[in-house]
Amino acid sequence: MKNIAGGSDVIVPANRIIGETNEGSDETVVHAVTVRNAIKVYGSKDNRCAVLDGLNMTIKKGAIYGLLGASGCGKTTLLSCLVGRRSLNSGEIVVLGQEPGTPGSGVPGPRVGYMPQELALYSDFSITETLRYFGRIYNLRMAFVDSQLEFLSKLLDLPPSDRPVKTLSGGQQRRVSFAVALFHEPELLILDEPTVGVDPLLRHSIWNHLVHQSVHHGRTVIVTTHYIEEARQANMIGMMRSGRLLVEESPDSLLNHYQLPSLEEVFLKLCIKDRGNSRNEQLTEVANVPSHVAAQLPQPSADHVNMAFDDSLSQISVPEPNRDESSASPANGSETPSVDIEMISRNRDNSSELTVRPTAANNVISAKRHQSRTFRIALPSSYRLNALVRKNFMVTFRNIGIFVLLYFLPAFQATVFNVTLGHEPTGIKMAIVNDELNPSQGRVCNYSTDCSYSMLSCRYLRYIKDNIIQVPYESVSTALDAGRKGSVWGVIHFGHNFTEELEIRQSEGDAVNIENIIRSRISINMDSSNQQIDVFVEKWLLEAYGNFFQDFMKSCKFEPEAGYLPVVFLDPVYGHKDTPYTEFMAPGLIISIVYFMAVSLTAGIFVAERQQGLLDRSLVAGVQMTEVLIGHLVNQFTVMIGQTALVFMCTLLIFSIPCHGNLVLAIFITLLQGFVGMCFGLLIATLCDNENSALLLSQASFLPFTVISGVCWPIEGMPFYFRSIAYAMPLTYAIESLRSIFTRGWGIERLDVYAGILISIAWIFALLIMCLIVIRVRKYAS
Ligand SMILES: Nc1ncnc2c1ncn2[C@@H]1O[C@H](COP(=O)(O)OP(=O)(O)OP(=O)(O)O)[C@@H](O)[C@H]1O
């Protein structure tokens, strides 16, 4: 039957799928898998290494194929190419009649069951939840999933199905992984070392099951194993070495042909015979030994492709593959497609280079592959999206610790910021040296509040804010010493005749002389190492003088403003006098908290999933990358709504930061920025291979982004050339928008507000496009 999902035709057995059914798979296809002259190169430039080296393979439908080979010979690479997770540099792969990854091939998808080497299971899920997740991906009926669970539990001796995977032993976990590959009854089973860590009895039962699947249901099985002897039960064995198949035969024929008692000995014999034939070996050998020694190296045997390894190019023309696939193909070289490979081994600069150059015939294959894959974006399927979203929610909410952290961390961060930032400093010690006081009278500060010029120094000190602690010192030198030792933030000094000199200064007006001016001054020496404290103390002392002077003028029945600076700050257009720094920072903080939480969460979850092989497993099951992205975005977005709500509540209600504009608009812009953060997190996840590098990148972006975006300092304070960089940051305009809403009460009709919205949307699209480009480039590079 044919299930059309997400714009791609996927063939799934009829009895298990939800909804309408259709025709089965192409019965005319005799071979389940054919691989022709597969070349797969990892690395670039000097590090190029051909992991698949002109490999040919033919697997009949319904056969069990044992793929044997030493560690690192390329088995997993070959399997990942078969399931469409990697692409060849050249050569051809046909799986179940079609090239993997082409629309409607069902590979990757429900036609194939893949058990990767790594566990690739959600550790917090129970066995039932694990199978149900994949059941939803394949759109299977839950009744079928449950009956399969019961059957496989018995067959594989699984523990109770409600046990979380993380509580199972290593062997039990591998059996669950095996069950995931089996349970949807795919036409082709690809198992990468399924029997590792499994006891002999269970291994026997697993092989029996594979034989049963092959004989009674016609399913094809490809299985890699390091236990060579267990592969005797396979119909065909492919022995692999250095990216090539040495032989492809039935176990009995191999034993008869080589007259050896075990497959292990056959493998050993073939390996010894093959020594020096691998291109990689030859390249390494030739690249590392002088030419006169290289000439004496053993020459490759006649039945293998011959190559020259001198300074000139050597071309290997390989004949067209025998399309009559009824006979088993020789392992290497004689039955291959028209692919010319140029091997360039250069011993210049002690470096060697391997180049794969496609010929005309090879170009056709490449072109076909290109046509079928490039820029094919299928519509997301509803059932796969449902499965992914459910799975993401289960992962998020399963662990109560993570749940609490997720929701309360941003609110906690907002609290920490609000408690610690932007407030006036208190307990600032200032040394007071008042030479007006008489030491013989115990330096007592007696002053009157009427219009008399007496002890004005003491009268002034009364107006200094409580934030300053006044510490009396007897002399300027001891006070300055205290300042140098860090005991006080500054020294305030009044001269002997401060009051008299001030009186003269007042009465003389413009005729006053400079000596009088100097003697009537209040001299201050500050420890200016802390700019913020310096600014605050200066402001408070000037304010104190203003208040003192007004009070004195009032008591003398003069105009209080007389003699005051002729500069006045009237009521502000927006905001209020002495707007606290916290109010300036709050919008930037809200946005940066939500943004960076989204960045690190998205990047972390996504990379972890990929690193554990979970992403690969889902993709092999037919999930598309766009669906994975949407699934994560839906999940993260709901988490973000909760986080944003808590951050706003914390800022507005607990710390009473006023929002003069439309709160809904402010929340909308914050959520948009969270979305930008998620997209940036996705970009990090697509760029990074492991959690550490993702974490490093997201952390590395935190400080520059926060600082450049004007969270804690006005952009107007940056060098002129740097401002364009600041405005190009994803957060800058959004922060300006939020600030305009919070402090000015502006609405969406103002450019400053809607610019933030438009630029956030533009960033979302730009980042998503970058993600898709990186995904595509990495897919082709891998
Ligand atoms: N992404 C990669 N980039 C570079 N080299 C890689 C990559 N993946 C695998 N290799 C290398 O390719 C070679 C073949 O790896 P592969 O995993 O296919 O071997 P294998 O036969 O499956 O080994 P094992 O039996 O140990 O699993 C190894 O040398 C490996 O280091």
Give the CATH number of the domain where residue 506 resides.
Answer: 3.40.190
Q: What is the pLDDT of residue 280?
A: 53
Last residue in a domain, options 555, 572, 606: 555
Cα–Cα separations (whole angstroms), residue 427 to 127, 309, 471, 478, 524:
61, 81, 11, 21, 18
Write the ipTM.
Answer: 0.96
What is the distance in A from the centroid of ligand 1 to the CA of 720? 51
Q: Give Cα separations from 608 to 410, 600, 677 (angstroms).
A: 22, 12, 18
User: What's residue 376's pLDDT?
Assistant: 52
Do 65 and 191 lie in a common domain? yes
- Same domain for 452 and 403: no
Query: Taking Cα atoms as reference points, which of 544, 539, 505 lies closest to residue 521?
Result: 505
Same domain, 478 and 364: no
Which tokens is 727 given? 């405005």
Give the residue, by CA position, lying nearest to ligand 1 atom 25.
71
Is residue 742 assigned to a domain? yes
For ligand 1, the distance from its centroid to the CA atom of residue 678, given in whole angstroms, is 32
Same domain, yes or no, for 585 and 503? no
Which of 306, 340, 373 marks a domain boundary?
373
Q: Residue whose CA is closest, atom 6 of ligand 1? A: 42
CA of 76 to the centre of ligand 1 (A): 7
Who's near 44: CB < 8 A, 6+ residues apart?
A: none
Ligand 1 pocket, mutate which of 76, 83, 88, 223 (most atoms under 8 A from CB): 76
User: In this structure, how many other beta carbons lie within 10 angstroms of the beta carbon of residue 761?
Assistant: 13
Q: Is residue 126 part of a domain?
A: no
Kindly state whether residue 176 falls inside one of the protein's structural domains.
no
pLDDT score, position 605: 85
Q: What is the CA radius of gyration of the chain?
A: 39
**Element (DSSP H or E) covering residue 705:** helix 691-708
CATH number of the domain within which 104 lies? 3.40.50.300
Residue 456 within any structural domain of the chain: yes
Residue 29 confidence (pLDDT): 57
CB within 6 Å of ligand 1 — which residues? 42-43, 51, 69, 71-77, 117
Other C-beta atoms closer than 10 Å to the C-beta of 765 total 10
**Do 238 and 363 belong to one domain?**
yes
Query: Is residue 228 located within the same domain as residue 288?
Result: yes
| 407 and 329, same domain (yes or no) | no
**Are residues 396 and 520 located together in one domain of the fold?**
no
Nearest CA to ligand 1 atom 2: 42
Query: How far, in Å, from the CA of 75 to the mean position of ligand 1?
Result: 8
Same domain, 93 and 218: yes
Angle at 182 between CA 181 and CA 183, to 5 degrees: 105
Alpha-carbon distance values, 336 to 264, 276, 330, 493, 688 (Å)? 27, 21, 9, 97, 37
Smallest CA-to-CA distance from 699 within 678, 679, 684, 682 is with 684
Nearest to 210 by CA among 199, 200, 201, 221: 221
Asked if residue 640 belongs to a domain, the reply is yes
Question: Which residue's CA is the closest to the ligand 1 atom numbered 17?
Answer: 76
**Residue 128 is encoded by which pair of tokens?**
């039932």
Ligand 1: residue whose CA is nearest its atom 20: 72
Identify the three-state secondary structure at position 418: helix
Residue 711, domain extent: 383-419+580-781
Q: How far, in Å, is the centroid of ligand 1 from the Cα of 74?
A: 6
Q: How far apart are CA 1 and CA 15, in angstroms?
A: 9
Strand, coil or helix: what is 762? helix
What span, in angstroms and rounded, lies between the C-alpha atoms of 373 and 46?
A: 29
Q: Indicate whether 263 and 398 sit together in one domain.
A: no
What is the total count of domains within the chain?
Answer: 3
388 and 357 assigned to the same domain: no
Element (H, E) at 245: strand 244-249
- Ligand 1 center–CA 781 separation, angstroms: 15
The answer to whether residue 163 sits within a structural domain is no
Say whether the peptide bond before residue 108 is cis (omega within 30 degrees of 0).
yes
* Residue 114 φ/ψ, nearest 5 degrees: -125, 125
Helices 382-398 and 127-137: angle between axes, nearest 10 degrees:
150
Within a domain: 159 = no
CA of 771 to the centre of ligand 1 (A): 26
Question: How many Cα atoms sit within 13 Å of 425 on the Cβ side?
Answer: 17
Which of 503, 521, 555 terminates a domain? The answer is 555
Ligand 1 pocket test target in 57, 68, 75, 89 with most atoms within 8 Å of CB:
75
Contact status, residue 544 vs residue 460, Cβ threshold 8 Å = yes
Residue 134 lies in a domain: no
CA of 702 to the centre of ligand 1 (A): 35
**Whether 756 contacts 734, CB under 8 Å:** yes
Binned average pLDDT, 10 residues per bin, the chain of 782 residues: 37 42 48 93 79 92 92 91 90 92 86 91 94 94 93 91 93 90 93 85 85 91 88 92 90 92 89 70 41 38 31 30 35 35 34 39 43 57 94 86 86 90 92 91 84 92 96 96 97 95 89 91 96 95 93 90 81 86 91 92 86 89 89 89 93 92 96 94 89 87 89 90 92 95 95 96 95 82 66
Residue owning the nearest CA to atom 16 of ligand 1: 74
Co-location of 656 and 678 in the same domain:
yes
Give, using CA atoms, the residue closest to atom 3 of ligand 1: 42
For residue 446, the CA-to-ligand 1 centroid distance in Å is 89
Measured from the CA of 226, which atom of ligand 1 is nearest? 25
Using the mean position of ligand 1's atoms as its centre, give its distance from the Cα of residue 117 in Å.
12
Pocket test for ligand 1, best of 77, 193, 222, 245 (most atoms within 8 A of CB): 77
